[in-house]
Structure 1
Amino acid sequence: MIFPQVVTIAGSDSGGGAGIQADIKTFQERRVFGMSAITAITAQNTLGVRAIHPVPVEILASQLEALNDDFSITAVKTGMLVDAATIDMVVSKLGSFSWGALIVDPVMIAKGGEPLVSEDAILTIREQLLPLASIVTPNIPEAEALAEMSIETPEQVEIAAKRIQKLGVPTVIIKGGHSRDRVDSRDYVLDGNTTFWLDAKRVETTQTHGTGCTFSACITAEIAKGASTEYAIRTAKSFITSAISQPLGIGHGHGPTNHWAHRKEREE
């Protein structure tokens, strides 16, 4: 049996809760073989990001080429892409590879509020990366940057999703974790011409580091296994809800989610 093979192109989180570490943990839990191409090394923990060291573009390119030369990759996701030069190169490589669906998690801001990409990178994401993508998964602040508008109401969420879709990506998921709704966490999905909301009860917790990475990684894994877009999204919503609602209590700040929480639920 050949397991589906997937790649994450993202930064390394020394604290283990986000970035490629969260992605690989999620891939393993979803029974796909995960690989990585590291865009940056960060010094961080649950209290915040202390330093970011971008990986030289030529080293990142070599990582991607090495993976393409040896593996049968059927889905890929991007996370923190640092700057415009990095995005340019990733776009060039992905355009020449046959890696299946591209899921873009447009990582721009850390949980503590620190910027994770340069300003010119946002424009490059909008104009070059999104037209290659199958799915994009912004939170509300990221959706505001991509759609170039303020988002405060459900109606504005829907308008923003349409604006982002017009950039060339068929499926837009605007995550509701940053919304003002204190009862539910509502994600809005625009999948082609189909729209729906995904609701889950909001969990009051600080243990949410890496939620976006984990959510998009789960979608990537399910797509690689041949799932429909809607099934992959609903599975990822269930997976991340479990991971948030059964926290590990690690660290003294925004702690990581529990990537194996879904196992306990199956056993029960």
Structure 2
Amino acid sequence: MPSTPAFAMTIAGSEATGGAGAQADLKTFQQLGVFGSIALTCIVSFDPKNNWGHRFVPVDPQVISDQIEAITAAYGPDQLKTVKIGMLGTTPTIDRVAAALGERSYQNVVLDPVLICKGQEPGAALDTDTALTEKVLPFATFVTPNHFESEQLSGMARINDEHDLVEAAKRIHDKSGAAVLAKGGVRIPGPDAIDVFYDGTTLEVLRVPKVGEHVVAGAGCSLAAAVTAGLALGDSPLEAAHRAKDFVTAGIKGRVESNAPFDVLWQGAAR
């Protein structure tokens, strides 16, 4: 009989071009040997007729609940211990996902705190940010904020350098109690792409030479998904962070070009 794989669920939005979102999550899980399931929260499709802006369509909250119900009924607590939270997008969605997290205990909850979708109105985005911080962040055991999200969650006006990113990671841990991998990437000046890991005890700056100076779509989603996969496979939080850093670096080196104004990460490059 074949061995049973590690399992992970992602609760995230669809990104039609395949570079980010749920598509990136599932590809990352599969590449790292983890069986992935997904509850879709929204559908995001870039608009090539309007400067590649976001077209954002939320999934009905009851449909989200139905998906989570099916997944958790199929795979019990002994199988499905790890969940990743990605793009939620609306306060009703956040309410429904927070309720689902409260109904079943998970060993690992990785929150990629997607605070803003460019298709949202500013007021709605602020409401979503507040709801996510108040209702979902408390469930997180591991948080993977990008540069902007690190500023928002830490309350820091600017993150300009490595010292600032370290301080942000510490503040986010103090706020959430979760392990933090604050993503600096190409936005922090210097020759290296840096991310800061902090879990209240261990502080480590993960650094590799930058692969170009431009953001690659899907890198953040794939990093969080790789952390999720690592935890599902039994990694410690720090081991999962290192696994994710190596995975994403390989994917950035093997990036896929497109007619959109951005390249996308290729998960298959990590083979």
Identity %: 34
1:161 aligned onto 2:169 = yes
1:210 aligned onto 2:218 = yes
Q: Which residue number in structure 2 is paired with residue 33 of structure 1?
A: 35
Distance 1:13 1:236 in 2: 21
| 1:1-268 correspondence runs (5 A) | 1-44=3-46, 48-71=52-75, 72-109=79-116, 118-150=125-157, 151-204=159-212, 206=214, 208-263=216-271
Distance 1:88 1:2 in 2: 33
Q: Amino acid of the residue matched to residue 199 of structure 2?
A: D
Please list every run of 5 or more consecutive structure 2 residues that lacks an aligned counterpart in the other structure.
none
The answer to whether the Cα contact below 8 Å between 1:249 and 1:255 also exists between their aligned partners in 2 is yes
The answer to whether the Cα contact below 8 Å between 1:206 and 1:253 also exists between their aligned partners in 2 is no
- CA RMSD in angstroms, aligned pairs only: 1.9
Instruction: Give the deviation of 1:206 after TM superposition.
Output: 4.7
Equivalences, count:
261
Distance 2:113 2:186 in 1: 15
Instruction: Give the deviation of 1:52 after TM superposition.
Output: 0.5
The answer to whether the Cα contact below 8 Å between 1:216 and 1:236 also exists between their aligned partners in 2 is yes
Instruction: Give the deviation of 1:205 after TM superposition.
Output: 5.8
Distance 1:251 1:233 in 2: 32
Change (3 A) 1:67 1:148: same
Q: Amino acid of the residue matched to residue 76 of structure 1?
A: V
1:139-161: per-residue Cα shift (whole Å, max 9, x none)?
11111111122222322222222
Q: Which residue number in structure 2 is paired with residue 266 of structure 1?
A: none
Distance 1:122 1:163 in 2: 17
Q: Amino acid of the residue matched to residue 110 of structure 2?
A: I
Change (3 A) 1:120 1:178: farther
Distance 1:140 1:155 in 2: 13
Q: Amino acid of the residue matched to residue 241 of structure 1?
A: T
Please list every run of 5 or more consecutive structure 1 residues that lacks an aligned counterpart in the other structure.
264-268
Counterpart of 2:57 in 1: which secondary structure?
strand
1:119-146: per-residue Cα shift (whole Å, max 9, x none)?
1121122222111111000011111111
Distance 1:63 1:248 in 2: 31
Distance 1:221 1:161 in 2: 22
Distance 1:201 1:50 in 2: 31
Q: Amino acid of the residue matched to residue 37 of structure 2?
A: M
1:211-238: per-residue Cα shift (whole Å, max 9, x none)?
0100000110110011111111101000
The answer to whether the Cα contact below 8 Å between 1:186 and 1:197 also exists between their aligned partners in 2 is yes
1:166-200: per-residue Cα shift (whole Å, max 9, x none)?
22232111101253314111111112211010001
Tell me the TM-score normalised to structure 2 length.
Answer: 0.90
Tell me the TM-score normalised to structure 1 length.
Answer: 0.91
Counterpart of 2:68 in 1: which secondary structure?
helix
Distance 2:156 2:99 in 1: 29
Distance 2:67 2:252 in 1: 32
